[in-house]
Amino acid sequence: MVYPIVKFGDPVLEREADTVTEFDTPELHKFLADMFDSMYAAKGVGLAAPQIGVGRKIAVIDCSNGENPAEKLVLINPKILHVEGKQVGEEGCLSIPGFREQVRRGKRVTVRAQNAKGEEFEMTGEDLLARAFLHETDHLYGRLYISHVSALKRDLMKRKIKKLQRAGEWE
Ligand SMILES: [Zn+2]
């Protein structure tokens, strides 16, 4: 099932999601499959549960855009353990469509998370994967990438979004 993507302005995107405590249930497996379907339908490389209106600490990532099943990742209750180096590049978010901004992020990032069975694992990613770890984990704590751009740019984006909202082009 493909869920609609929740857009900036919905409070679910700006509050910390709940920790997942039940694993390996049919409901969780179905939800994860739906998250991947929703992410691919929206042409994203990552999706966090709050973006489909579900306040639980679950994110999916696939930097291959569905080309390589080995790159499908499930992060449940993720925590960023280590960040090193710097990369500056364009970043966007499915919940803030039509916008992309330069965002400075760590280049090499280690995350600790649980998989669908509740097993804990650690993984280190670089470049795009490092950026996805940070971006999606941020979502689960109610933080959006616009909190990493300058106040000036953020205000400009918010003004443009308000205009779209008023015009009925943001739902
Ligand atoms: Zn996002």
Per-residue pLDDT tens digits for 93-106: 999 999 999 999 99
- Say which residues have a Cβ less than 8 Å from residue 85's Cβ, sequence separation at least 6: 106, 107, 108
Distance 109 CA to ligand 1 centre (A): 17
Q: What is the pLDDT of residue 97?
A: 96
Q: What is the pLDDT of residue 128?
A: 97
pLDDT higher than threshold 90 for residue 75: yes
Distance 62 CA to ligand 1 centre (A): 13
Q: Three-state SS for 39?
A: helix
**pLDDT tens digits for 104-117?**
999 999 999 999 99
**Positive or negative torsion for Cα 20, 96, 112, 62:** positive
- Residue 49 backbone dihedrals phi, psi, to 5 degrees: -55, -40
Output the pTM of the full model. Answer: 0.96
Proportion of the chain above pLDDT 70, given as a percent:
100
The whole-angstrom distance between residue 137's C-alpha and the CA centroid of its chain comes to 7
Token readout for 115 is 């998989």
Mean pLDDT of 51-56: 98
> Average pLDDT of the chain?
97
As residues whose CB is below 5 A from the ion ligand 1, the structure lists: 93
Q: What is the pLDDT of residue 171?
A: 82
Q: What is the pLDDT of residue 3?
A: 98
Catalytic: which of 67, 136, 169, 171?
136
Distance 98 CA to ligand 1 centre (A): 12
Mean pLDDT of 42-68: 97
Q: Look up 67 and say whether it is catalytic.
A: no
Hunting for tokens 């994203």 — which residue is that? Answer: 44
Q: Three-state SS for 37?
A: helix
Distance 139 CA to ligand 1 centre (A): 7
Distance 11 CA to ligand 1 centre (A): 14
Judge whether 19 and 77 are in contact, CB under 8 Å.
yes
Mean pLDDT of 60-70: 95
